[in-house]
Structure 1
Amino acid sequence: MVPTPGPGAAGPPPYPVIRPMLAVLGPLPPGPEQAGWAFEGKWDGARCVVNAPGDGTLHLVTRAGNDATASYPELGPLGEQLRGRAAVLDGEVVVPDPTGRPDFGLLQRRMGVLNPRRTARLAMELPVQLVLFDVMYLDGPLTAAPYEERRAVLAGLGLAGPNWSVPGYVAGHGQRAWEAALHGGLEGVMAKRLSSPYLPGVRSTDWVKTKYQETLDVVIGGWTEGRGALGGLPGSVLAGVAEPGGLRFVGAVGSGLSDHERRDLAQYLSVIPLDRSPFVNPVDLAGVHWAEPRLVAEITVSGWTAAGRVRHPVWHRLRPDLTRLD
């Protein structure tokens, strides 16, 4: 929800409460249809609706409706660029790693922090970038206008600063956008129909997100117990990759496991218990059951964090053909 004006404020903000439009997950539109679509990079960050009443201030609202203004003080000067214009913008807050690529793990250190001293310190250590990609209100509603028109309005605002930007889009060339996104370390591509209106709070097929996925073979070195109906069964397995220095822990994988696969894993892991960690690096999880690193699994991931952990791991299958029996 839009924050309530503070003491002494003249009244409610001049713009309406606008919830973010949502996308469906799917492949890029077929080649013959791509002429009617725009393609943007998909940023791995936190969605934010930017509310600027035109008085030089700025209010940031998360997708869940929480006020995030105090968490990102370095974005405040954007309000001055919008002084005199009541505006509601859509964007993504990201934190780039040392190579300039968005790192959600770094962003998590900024999210939800409200203490002014701490936010000021973090703004120096881990400054955020606000990537703006839509405008829903500018001295009047724009949600009914087509995407192409809204993007032209957004570009016309000339918004540029040390902590915010308005990246362009590619019309009609999905593969070119896909290759550019992967080269830039982005999560994938957002395809948006050029003629589509902005539908607040709606998950629409006019917006399609296509994520990059990498297939990876990992060695299982332990497991943690599931909750509720999964009690006694693996809720997640601990994945590692073999390196010259030993088996390195890269994350826990629970998403994608079926009940049948959990039962099979429980049986397999019960005969190869271990009284110590098989990983050469620390595992920051509680209640771990260690296992001899013999079972190999195939998972999909969307990338790697700066700490060397897999991002968004999803179980695919056990690989008996690669099981380590040595």
Structure 2
Amino acid sequence: MVTLPLIEPMLATPGTLPPAREQGRWAFESKHDGQRAIVYLPGDGSLMLRARSGADITAAYPELLPLGTALGAGVAAVLDGEIVALDDDGRPDFERLQARMGLSGSPAKAARLAPDVPAHLMLFDALHLRGRSIVGLPYRERRRELESLGLRGSHWSTPGAVTGHGEEALRATKEGGLEGVVCKRLDSVYTPGLRSRDWIKIRNVRTVDAIVGGWVPGRGRLSGLPGALLLGEYEGGVLRFIGSVGTGWNDRERALLAELLRVAAVDECPFAEVPPVAGARWVLPRLVGEVAYSTRTKAGLLRQPSWHRLRPDLAPPEGA
């Protein structure tokens, strides 16, 4: 059996699209909301998956094991990709995937869940192929090598990448309900374990005008100041909890929020159901803020929320 080198995943830097005049030097790939995996194919029919942490997660995804024979006997490779669970419309759904993650120590449970919540491996880079490392090759050449493998199956695929046209690529992912794009310099090498500006990730952001119904005090130097705000939306005349936000404001904004919360303090929870949040303090549901987020869970909670700004121009619904 071939002994393959362990390779840490290269990481992307959050940012914005390259200038239009430079986009011909970049490729644009869809960003998938899942679990990063380095894929080891020794060429003997076996397969090993390692998470970003380096942990062996192979046993959590038994439906991916047939990939071990997809390249044919004797063809060894190390590939980079993202494991996702698709929703009914074929879009990655991180909430669905969470049911599969962390099951490496429970292979029987993973096997039981696989038919109902199947995993799919999106492959996007080749790092080692046919006995040689190719991390030092430019992205365009590594991509060509990956596509030449023809890896497309019921539980794995090689999604396309486009060169140039970044605005169109980003808009297409937003319209398609995808997480965003990753921009990759065509001449960039693969730098294992490092966060590089040769890869730039851009998330599609949604916003909601949320009503503040409570807060949780911060700790340490933030004692007495809000560490997080508890958010809600009115639905059927009642305030429904949609999550908490604890990032996105500076010290001045935090101090302003603290004063507004102090004035609005009440003893009774304004939410229809008391959120399971330790140490919560309640306020009259009169403050409205614009909050950015990536997606919502099936329960309607905001994922990756970030405070954007107060909306003093908006008021909660009449009679609320």
Note whether the superposition's TM-score is higher than 0.5: yes
Aligned equivalent of 1:47: 36
Matching of residue 288 in structure 1 with residue 305 in structure 2: no
Quote how far apart the aligned CAs of 1:220 are.
0.3
Quote how far apart the aligned CAs of 1:18 are.
1.0
Matches within 5 A, 1:188-227: 188-227=180-219
The answer to whether the 8 A contact 1:39-1:171 is kept is: yes
Show CA shifts across 1:98-156 (max 9, x none). 33222222222221122122111221221111110000001211111111111111111
Aligned equivalent of 1:78: 67
Tell me which of 121, 126, 130 is aligned to 1:135: 126
The answer to whether the 8 A contact 1:97-1:306 is kept is: no
Matching of residue 20 in structure 1 with residue 9 in structure 2: yes
Letter in 2 for 1:300: A
The answer to whether the 8 A contact 1:43-1:186 is kept is: yes
Aligned equivalent of 1:68: 57
Deviating more after overlay: 73-82 vs 162-171 = 73-82
Matching of residue 122 in structure 1 with residue 118 in structure 2: no
The SS at the match of 2:126 is: strand
Aligned equivalent of 1:107: 97
Quote how far apart the aligned CAs of 1:249 are.
1.6
The 1-side partners of 2:69 and 2:249 are apart by 49
RMSD: 2.0
Matches within 5 A, 1:260-299: 260-281=252-273, 283-299=275-291
Quote how far apart the aligned CAs of 1:183 are.
2.4
The SS at the match of 2:266 is: coil
Matching of residue 97 in structure 1 with residue 87 in structure 2: yes
The 1-side partners of 2:144 and 2:137 are apart by 11
The answer to whether the 8 A contact 1:94-1:130 is kept is: yes
Quote how far apart the aligned CAs of 1:199 are.
1.3
The SS at the match of 1:224 is: strand
Deviating more after overlay: 117-126 vs 240-249 = 240-249
Show CA shifts across 1:224-270 (max 9, x none). 23233333332111111233442222111001233443333333223
The sequence identity of aligned pairs, in percent, is 52
Aligned equivalent of 1:32: 21
The 2-side partners of 1:226 and 1:106 are apart by 32
Letter in 1 for 2:9: P
The answer to whether the 8 A contact 1:103-1:305 is kept is: no
Letter in 2 for 1:86: A
Tell me which of 308, 316, 319 is aligned to 2:308: 316
Matching of residue 162 in structure 1 with residue 154 in structure 2: yes
Deviating more after overlay: 131-140 vs 76-85 = 76-85
Letter in 1 for 2:39: V
The answer to whether the 8 A contact 1:301-1:310 is kept is: yes
The answer to whether the 8 A contact 1:89-1:136 is kept is: yes
The answer to whether the 8 A contact 1:46-1:62 is kept is: yes
Aligned equivalent of 1:241: 233
The answer to whether the 8 A contact 1:220-1:238 is kept is: yes
Matching of residue 187 in structure 1 with residue 179 in structure 2: yes
The SS at the match of 2:197 is: strand
Quote how far apart the aligned CAs of 1:281 are.
5.0
The answer to whether the 8 A contact 1:50-1:91 is kept is: yes
The answer to whether the 8 A contact 1:214-1:301 is kept is: yes
The 1-side partners of 2:86 and 2:277 are apart by 26
The SS at the match of 1:180 is: helix
Matches within 5 A, 1:298-313: 298-313=290-305
> 5+ unaligned residues in a row in structure 2: which ranges?
none
The 2-side partners of 1:121 and 1:226 are apart by 42
